[in-house]
Structure formats: structure tokens, C-alpha cells
């Protein structure tokens, strides 16, 4: 049955038995924000879209004209969200928290998406001990209180079972999707104009994502220098910052190693321009130590860009054999795999074709359908 037909069939059930509310305060964030935006775009297509309530800043949610918006300005991770949100949603049958900062005093049926447990599994990546204690307490409490927990991958499901003893039957693994806008672009003039706009080199290796410590960008810089010095590649390295400041340790590494002419840090790139950035790249590199899912490599794959990825955490599960993978601690191996994709046309062609096929397996419509199925279990 077509997705829209399926949704019409279940809308009457949702309308009769429940009101579903979603915490949309993090809609402007990168990873979690992408999750929220993408789900809401699919929910807005429902004939019963008006029965979904969104809690957040109305100015940031005005694009969703078919959904009901409720104002909620309580800061994320604050005591205020724990005090005000339960009062706002007390008449709601099902509340979906897209992150582990769920309202613990809510008495209805709680659905919580846990994308990863990096804050507990790798506390060294947090800036304070307080942040670690908060994350551990919230995840432990949510693991008990939630009726259903959603994860993006089997890897995160396993982490929840191991670290918090969550019963496996409580967890639903629902992979994320790749937006339709991510595809190969053949318009040479469009790509040329984009390069000029951001002063991009003609050929470059790309990293896209945030610049947090677990992204392992220091290793990528070491691999890139090896490629420049030993293999004499012509490609430069371009990294996105997500609109945030470049970490000082990365800047120091670039200047200490004399790579400032070869490495570019891009400012914030709007969502609608990200497909053009991927399409301009020669190779996409993703050296992360830990991911709950890993959307950027899939988006690059959908755009026809070959990917070299870490083989850590959920990435083998999500990306399969459609990328070249290696140990994120081994910069020589990472450099070698990037070099293969630059110089070996047969390997490059195989990885591009496999990547497009693999990325095609992930759609936000399917993510939304499975999420609604989870809501239906609570009827």
C-alpha cells in the first residue's frame, strides 16, 4: 500500500483515540533538528495533521502550517522544561520526546527517541562532570519511564540494553532517512556558481558535520597531510563548521603542520545548499569514533560522492559495504583508502554505484511510517 494511503487508513484511529504531541524545541539543532524537521514534514502530509501538537517556538515552527503549535520556550536541559512541559501536555495521550531530556513528571504514555548514548559512553567528550551526571541520570530514568524507546540503529539499541538494562521488547529500531534533495547534480553552471560563492577549490576532499571531539578530525588532518606530502595529491581539504567556531586545537594543528593553504573551514551552509556542496566534492571522509546513525555519509552517497568512513559504532550497520572503511585510529589506512578513491577509477565507480543504491534504502517517509506504528501500539 502506498505510504499516503496507509496514513489515511490510520488517521481515523489516531483522531479517535489520542492526541500526539512532539517536543520541537530543538528544531534548529543539527542532528536532532534534522530528525524533528523531517518527521514533521511527513506528519504534515497526513489528513489528520491537525491532531498532532508541536511544542516549541512558534516563529521557528511557522513553516508547518497544517500542524498545531503550542508555545514553549523552556530552555533545553533546564529545570524549567521539567516543570512547565508536564503541565502543558497533561491532556495529551502520547508524548514523543526526540531526545533523552524527556518530561519526567508527565503521566501519559511517553515515547522517547535516543539517538546515541555518547554522553554516557564517552564522558571525556563532555566539558563538565555535571553534564555527564545529568545525561546518566536522565537516560537511566527515561529508560524506566518510557513506554517505547526508539533508536536509529541496532548499535544504539545494544548500548541501551548493555548500559541501562532496557528490556529489548521496549525498543523499536527505526532508521533515519535521506532527504529527496540529496541527489547527483549535472548542472555544471550551478555547481560552478556554488564553488565561486564559497571560494571552493576545484577538487577537494570533504568532511561535513559538527566539529566535536568524537568526530576525530585531528586524525583526518594527519591523513590529509600524508596524502599531500607523500602522495602529492592535488585535492585540498574542506571541512564544514556547522556555523560554530573552529576548535582552536584544529587551527593550531593546521598552522603547525603548514597546511593553511590546503585546508578550508566553511561557514554555516544552509540545508538547501548542502546537496551542492556534496556534489562538488571528489571524496567524502567521515572518520568519527562514534555515531548513533551517521546521516552525512549517506547524504554524500545519495549525491554520487564516494565515501571513506570509520568502521566504528553504527557506521558498518548503516553504510554496509557501499563505502571504504577503516580503523578510525589508523591515519595511514585512512589516507590509503582516500587515495584509492582518487586514483582507482574502477574502485571509485563501484563505490559510487553502491553508495547511491544503499542511500536509496533510507527514506523519511518510512521513518515516519514506522514511528506512527509505534504510536499505534499505545492505542
Digit-coded pLDDT (tens) for 150-170 = 999 999 999 999 999 999 999
User: What is the Rg, in whole angstroms, of the alpha carbon atoms belonging to the chain?
Assistant: 21
The pLDDT of residue 373 is above 50: yes
Interval 46-63 mean pLDDT: 86
Interval 287-294 mean pLDDT: 96
Digit-coded pLDDT (tens) for 222-240 = 999 999 999 999 999 999 9
Across 72-76, 149-153, 314-318, least confident range: 72-76
CA distance 269 to 303: 16
- In degrees, rounded to 5, the angle at the alpha carbon of residue 150 between the alpha carbons of residues 27 and 66 is 40
Two domains, one topology: 3-177+363-376 and 188-359? yes
Interval 111-137 mean pLDDT: 93
Domain 3-177+363-376 is found in CATH 3.40.50.2000: yes
For residue 194, what pLDDT band results from cuts at 50, 70 and 90? very high
> What is the model's pTM?
0.92
| Structure confidence at residue 242 (pLDDT) | 77
Q: What is the mean pLDDT of the chain?
A: 93
Distances, alpha carbon 324 to alpha carbons 209, 260, 301, in Å: 19, 27, 12
Which CATH superfamily does the domain covering 188-359 fall into? Glycogen Phosphorylase B; (3.40.50.2000)
Q: Are 323 and 308 contacting, i.e. CB atoms less than 8 angstroms apart?
A: yes
Query: Which residues, including other chains, have CB under 8 Å from residue 356's CB and lie 6 or more apart?
Result: 184, 301, 302, 304
As a three-state string, the secondary structure of the chain is: CCHHHHHHHHHHHHHHHCCEEEECCCCCCCHHHHHHHHHHHHHCCCCCHHHEEEEECHHHHCCCCCCEEEECCCCCCCHHHHHHHHHHCCCCCEEEECCCCCCCCCCCEEEEECCCCHHHHCHHHCCCHHHHHHHHHHHHHHHHHCCEEEECCHHHHHHHHHHHCCCHHHEEECCCCCCCCCCCCCCHHHHHHHHHHCCCCCCEEEECCCCCHHHCHHHHHHHHHHHHHCCCCCCEEEEECCCCCCCHHHHHHHHHCCCCCCEEEECCCCHHHHHHHHHHCCEEEECCCCCCCCHHHHHHHHCCCCEEEECCCCHHHHHCCCCEEECCCCHHHHHHHHHHHHHCHHHHHHHHHHHHHHHCCCCHHHHHHHHHHHHHCCC
Interval 310-316 mean pLDDT: 97
| Structure confidence at residue 17 (pLDDT) | 47
| Structure confidence at residue 147 (pLDDT) | 98
| Structure confidence at residue 247 (pLDDT) | 92
**Domains in the chain: boundaries:** 3-177+363-376, 188-359
Across 65-79, 178-192, 281-295, least confident range: 65-79
For residue 6, what pLDDT band results from cuts at 50, 70 and 90? low
| Structure confidence at residue 9 (pLDDT) | 56
| Structure confidence at residue 16 (pLDDT) | 39
State the greatest distance between any 2 C-alpha atoms of the chain, in Å, as a whole number: 67
* Percent of the chain predicted with pLDDT > 90: 83
Digit-coded pLDDT (tens) for 344-371 = 999 999 999 999 999 999 999 999 999 9
| Structure confidence at residue 11 (pLDDT) | 58
CA distance 278 to 77: 33
360: its cell numbers? 536509496
Interval 320-338 mean pLDDT: 97
Digit-coded pLDDT (tens) for 249-290 = 999 999 999 999 999 999 889 999 999 999 999 999 999 999
Amino acid at each position: 500500500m502506498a505510504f499516503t494511503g496507509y496514513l489515511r487508513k490510520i488517521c481515523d484511529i489516531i483522531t479517535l483515540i489520542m492526541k500526539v504531541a512532539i517536543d520541537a524545541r530543538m528544531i534548529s539543532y543539527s542532528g536532532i533538528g534534522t530528525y524533528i524537521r523531517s518527521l514533521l514534514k511527513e506528519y504534515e502530509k497526513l489528513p489528520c495533521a491537525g491532531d498532532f501538537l508541536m511544542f516549541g517556538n512558534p516563529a521557528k515552527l511557522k513553516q508547518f502550517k497544517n500542524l498545531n503549535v503550542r508555545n514553549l520556550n523552556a530552555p533545553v536541559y533546564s529545570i524549567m522544561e521539567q516543570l512547565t512541559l508536564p503541565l502543558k501536555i497533561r491532556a495529551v495521550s502520547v508524548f514523543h520526546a526526540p531526545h533523552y531530556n524527556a518530561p519526567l513528571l508527565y503521566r501519559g504514555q511517553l515515547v522517547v527517541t535516543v539517538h546515541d548514548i555518547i554522553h554516557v559512553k564517552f564522558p571525556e567528550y563532555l566539558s563538565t562532570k555535571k553534564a555527564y551526571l545529568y545525561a546518566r541520570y536522565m537516560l537511566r530514568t527515561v529508560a524506566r519511564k518510557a513506554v517505547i524507546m526508539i533508536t536509529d540503529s541496532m548499535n544504539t539499541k545494544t548500548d541501551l540494553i548493555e548500559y541501562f538494562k532496557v528490556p529489548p521488547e521496549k525498543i523499536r529500531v527505526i532508521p533515519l532517512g535521506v532527504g529527496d534533495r540529496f541527489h547527483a547534480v549535472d548542472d555544471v553552471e550551478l555547481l560552478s556558481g556554488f564553488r565561486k560563492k564559497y571560494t571552493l577549490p576545484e577538487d577537494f576532499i570533504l568532511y561535513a558535520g559538527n566539529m566535536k571531539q568524537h568526530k576525530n578530525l585531528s586524525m583526518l588532518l594527519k591523513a590529509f597531510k600524508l596524502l599531500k606530502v607523500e602522495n602529492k595529491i592535488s585535492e585540498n581539504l574542506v571541512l564544514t563548521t556547522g556555523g560554530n567556531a573552529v576548535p582552536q586545537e584544529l587551527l593550531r594543528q593546521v598552522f603547525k603542520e603548514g597546511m593553511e593553504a590546503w585546508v578550508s573551514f566553511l561557514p554555516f551552509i544552509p540545508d538547501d545548499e548542502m546537496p551542492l556542496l556534496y556534489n562538488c566534492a571528489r571524496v567524502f571522509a567521515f572518520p568519527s569514533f562514534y555515531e548513533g546513525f551517521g546521516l552525512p555519509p549517506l547524504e554524500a552517497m545519495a549525491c554520487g560522492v564516494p565515501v571513506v568512513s570509520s568502521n566504528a559504532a553504527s557506521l558498518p550497520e548503516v553504510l554496509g559495504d557501499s563505502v571504504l572503511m577503516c580503523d578510525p585510529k589508523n591515519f595511514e589506512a585512512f589516507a590509503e583508502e582516500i587515495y584509492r578513491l582518487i586514483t582507482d577509477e574502477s574502485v571509485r565507480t563501484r563505490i559510487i554505484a553502491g553508495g547511491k543504491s544503499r542511500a536509496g534504502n533510507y527514506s523519511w517517509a518510512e521513518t515516519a511510517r514506522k514511528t506512527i506504528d509505534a504510536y499505534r501500539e499505545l492505542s
